């Protein structure tokens, strides 16, 4: 126990020694200080083996998966490991009551059985380049904020276009860093033929469901396996039976040696967004408007969905993916607001801002430029508070609420003049939305959303249809919803079909759902216009604040906020103390699965098929067992991650795969705003558990033989 306590203390103090755990670092811009910190923690690879634009390196095995997750290439034939929840919508699309891959899992016994997913792509990073001078060269001191934004956007677009003109298989994207004070070009190559190869049953991939989501200790086998296919010369190609498995530049080796407390661990992936430099006023805005709207509105919507999903398998399959996505961010918002209060994040931010105010006052050059920075930020956030609250509840209640409204808005905004491929993909997305829609459920959601929005905003923010409900329907929301759903042609694909075929007997603008959509668009535009000037002022002053912080603490090693570009985080495998009197170990085993099944008997979140329970009880773990003969399931490190990191590769000091990141922990949910070194942990699924499930449960030995497995045992 004493040794374990010492290890935990060493782990937690590492942030103060080399600041090793905090930071999402740009691989193409690792400075000497960061490289030194990695080596001091135990990294055994040179920097050019992590990232190189000229020769294969570890970054070439890491992909952006679908633009919303991460993944890692693990075989010479293009196998990709990512999270189960990242592949969940693909598994759902291929599922039916007869072939319930969500419940039973999926295994392709040969290449011909691998299932295509036209909406999916994987993105490889080829190189990055600092283009700050070129972008900001277009900015003039006399420009207003809208003029500055327009000039910056024009140059960013031009740089991106140059990449595609030189090579049509490449994608160039210029992203803003440090609040718009720096700009970097990332050059990618996308592969669009991505096929499902293996998915565990949801009792493994989603074990614990909402109950365990964002919580440690965790026992979720959150993994899925896909394969990338390519056309001639290993180049990107749309799906075709003629395509062949992609031959990667670099394949991540897989380690069976596991980890110990204090082992070096690094995570490579595509984190979505963080707001570490955001002002305290911005944090309050996030808490009270955006997060609270998600908490209130999604809780109502999800309760309706879940009730019907539990009643019928057909509805469970239809609604599984959208429920999963919605509930993930719903619980995240709950956790973020809770952690902000519990960890006193606002107080810490305000203390830093007081230091900054003093520095500005005491530094003549800064005082001249920034004297009004904080008063202006406070005033502009105050001026937009109510309108932004209305926009947050508007988005959740209507834009992300009833699917009839989403369909109407999709049709209203449809671009028939775009590229044929894009038009076809957008039409397919609309048709799939119909396939996963139950009208009675959606009508109940619509009625609940109308009521919830009315109760949360000032009457000046109500769209015109609320007046119709009051006058024509006597204030009866349900009666209005019944009439709307009965009269609209868009409740089935028939209305869309009539519109696409130019049916002269059908004027789509007479459809009540389309009229409602126009009403909503008009109101949203009106509210947005109320915030436009203040929003521009806020963007400018948050950018100035970001730059001022870096000048004041010029000796510190700063990293930019996450922005969906490839990032490296590093630290150590270690447990933590969530509250007084409790210690959490750094890994879990299948023993915990058996214990949770027994403890939560009758709870569908913890139901596991008998054959799986038998597999765990038999303890035939073979070469995948840990040191004590147990089957490790999950582990934690102090690597710095956020949304988008799901599916990220977790590597050891030699660049060998240890597992896949899939979650953060409940006690540090405010980490997107402020890193808490003693609390924040990255939860990963152990790669040995992944291989065990593929081989022992899936009987997919051919997949195991594709992998580059290493072990020093």
Catalytic pick among 75, 77, 85, 442? 85
d(CA 528, CA 542) in angstroms, rounded, equals 19
Q: At what angle do helices 512-552 and 145-166 cross, to 10 degrees?
A: 100
Nearest CA-CA partner of 83 in 706, 682, 609: 682
Per DSSP, the residues of 100-141 read -HHHH-EE-SSGGGPEE-TT--EEEEEEEEE-HHHHHTT--T
d(CA 630, CA 593) in angstroms, rounded, equals 12
Catalytic pick among 52, 646, 648, 671? 646
Q: Which residue has the tokens 């930020």?
A: 377
- How open is the CA angle 155-157-163, to the nearest 5 degrees? 105
**Catalytic annotation present for 600:** no
Nearest CA-CA partner of 469 in 446, 486, 488, 450: 450
Contact (Cβ atoms closer than 8 angstroms) between residue 124 and residue 59: no
d(CA 544, CA 523) in angstroms, rounded, equals 32
d(CA 122, CA 194) in angstroms, rounded, equals 7
- 3-class SS at 634? strand
Q: Which residue has the tokens 């090579």?
A: 167
Enter the tokens of residue 176: 């803003």
- 3-class SS at 586? coil
Contacts of 669 (CB under 8 A, 6+ apart): 214, 332, 335, 336, 338, 339
The torsion region of residue 438 among left (phi > 0), alpha (psi -120 to 50) and beta comes to beta
Contact (Cβ atoms closer than 8 angstroms) between residue 266 and residue 650: yes
**Catalytic annotation present for 60:** no
d(CA 661, CA 686) in angstroms, rounded, equals 9
Catalytic pick among 222, 324, 442, 511? 222
Q: Where are the alpha helices (DSSP H) in 363-492?
A: 364-370, 373-394, 403-412, 420-435, 439-456, 465-472, 477-487
d(CA 547, CA 515) in angstroms, rounded, equals 46
d(CA 68, CA 66) in angstroms, rounded, equals 5
- 3-class SS at 383? helix
Enter the tokens of residue 206: 């989603």
Residue 470 sits at φ, ψ, to 5 deg, of -70, -40
Contact (Cβ atoms closer than 8 angstroms) between residue 665 and residue 681: yes
d(CA 270, CA 67) in angstroms, rounded, equals 9
**Catalytic annotation present for 85:** yes
243: exposed, middle or buried (C-beta count within 10 Å: 0-12, 13-18, 19+)?
A: buried
- 3-class SS at 551? helix
Contacts of 502 (CB under 8 A, 6+ apart): none
Which positions are catalytic? 85, 222, 646
């Amino acid at each position: 126990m004493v040794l374990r306590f010492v290890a935990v203390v060493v782990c937690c103090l590492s942030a103060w020694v080399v600041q090793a755990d905090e930071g999402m670092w740009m691989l193409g811009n690792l400075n000497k200080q960061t490289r030194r910190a990695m080596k001091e923690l135990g990294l055994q690879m040179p920097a050019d083996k992590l990232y190189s634009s000229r020769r294969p390196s570890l970054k070439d095995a890491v992909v952006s998966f679908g633009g919303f997750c991460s993944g890692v290439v693990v075989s010479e034939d293009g196998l990709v490991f990512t999270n189960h929840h990242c592949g969940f919508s693909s598994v759902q699309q291929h599922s039916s009551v007869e072939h319930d891959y969500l419940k039973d899992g999926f295994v392709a016994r040969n290449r011909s059985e691998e299932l295509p997913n036209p909406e999916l792509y994987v993105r490889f990073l080829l190189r990055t380049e600092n283009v700050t001078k070129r972008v900001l060269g277009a900015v003039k001191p006399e420009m207003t904020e809208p003029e500055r934004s327009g000039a910056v956007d024009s140059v960013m677009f031009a740089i991106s276009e140059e990449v595609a003109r030189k090579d049509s298989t490449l994608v160039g994207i210029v992203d803003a860093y440090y609040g718009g004070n720096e700009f970097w070009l990332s050059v990618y190559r996308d592969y669009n033929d991505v096929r499902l190869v293996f998915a565990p049953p949801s009792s493994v991939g989603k074990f614990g469901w909402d109950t365990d989501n964002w919580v440690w200790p965790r026992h979720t086998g959150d993994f899925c396996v896909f394969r990338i296919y390519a056309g001639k010369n290993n180049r990107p190609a749309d799906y075709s039976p003629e395509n062949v498995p992609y031959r990667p530049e670099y394949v991540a080796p897989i380690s069976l040696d596991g980890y110990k407390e204090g082992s070096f661990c690094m995570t490579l992936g595509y984190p979505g967004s963080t707001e570490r430099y955001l002002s305290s006023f911005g944090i309050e805005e996030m808490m009270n408007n955006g997060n609270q709207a998600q908490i209130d509105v999604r809780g109502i919507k999800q309760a309706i969905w879940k009730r019907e999903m539990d009643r019928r398998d057909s509805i469970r399959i239809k609604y599984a993916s959208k429920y999963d996505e919605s509930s993930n961010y719903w619980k995240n918002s709950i956790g973020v607001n809770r952690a902000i209060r519990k960890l006193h994040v606002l107080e810490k931010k305000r203390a830093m801002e007081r230091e900054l105010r003093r520095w500005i006052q005491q530094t003549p050059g800064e005082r001249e430029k920034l004297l009004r920075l904080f008063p202006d930020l406070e005033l502009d956030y105050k001026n937009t508070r109510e309108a932004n609250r209305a926009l947050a509840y508007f988005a959740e209640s209507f834009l992300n609420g009833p699917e009839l409204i989403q369909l109407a808005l999709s049709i209203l905004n449809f671009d028939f003049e775009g590229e044929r491929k894009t038009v076809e993909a957008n039409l397919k997305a609309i048709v799939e939305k119909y396939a996963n829609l139950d009208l009675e459920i959606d009508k109940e959601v619509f009625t609940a959303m109308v009521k919830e929005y009315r109760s949360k905003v000032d009457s000046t923010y109500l769209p015109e249809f609320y007046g119709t409900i009051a006058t024509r329907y006597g204030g009866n929301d349900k009666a209005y919803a019944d009439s709307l759903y009965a009269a609209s042609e868009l409740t089935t694909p028939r209305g869309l079909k009539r519109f696409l075929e130019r049916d002269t007997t059908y004027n789509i603008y007479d459809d009540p759902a389309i009229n409602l959509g126009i009403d909503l668009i008009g109101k949203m535009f009106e509210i947005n216009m109320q915030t436009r000037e203040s929003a521009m002022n806020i963007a400018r002053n948050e950018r100035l604040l970001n730059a001022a912080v870096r000048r004041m603490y010029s000796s510190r090693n700063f990293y930019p906020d996450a922005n969906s570009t490839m990032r490296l985080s590093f630290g150590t495998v270690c447990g933590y103390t969530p509250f007084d009197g409790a210690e959490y170990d750094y890994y879990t085993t299948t023993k915990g699965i058996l214990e949770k099944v027994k403890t939560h008997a009758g709870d569908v979140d913890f139901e596991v098929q008998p054959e799986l329970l038998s597999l765990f009880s038999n303890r035939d773990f073979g070469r995948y067992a840990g040191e004590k003969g147990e089957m490790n399931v999950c582990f934690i490190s102090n690597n710095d991650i956020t949304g988008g990191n799901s599916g990220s590769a977790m590597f050891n000091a030699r660049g060998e795969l240890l597992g896949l990141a899939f979650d953060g922990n409940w006690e540090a949910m405010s980490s997107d705003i402020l890193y808490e070194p003693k609390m924040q942990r990255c939860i990963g699924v152990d790669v040995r558990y992944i291989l065990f499930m593929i081989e022992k449960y899936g009987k997919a030995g051919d997949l195991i033989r594709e992998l580059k497995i290493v072990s020093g045992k």
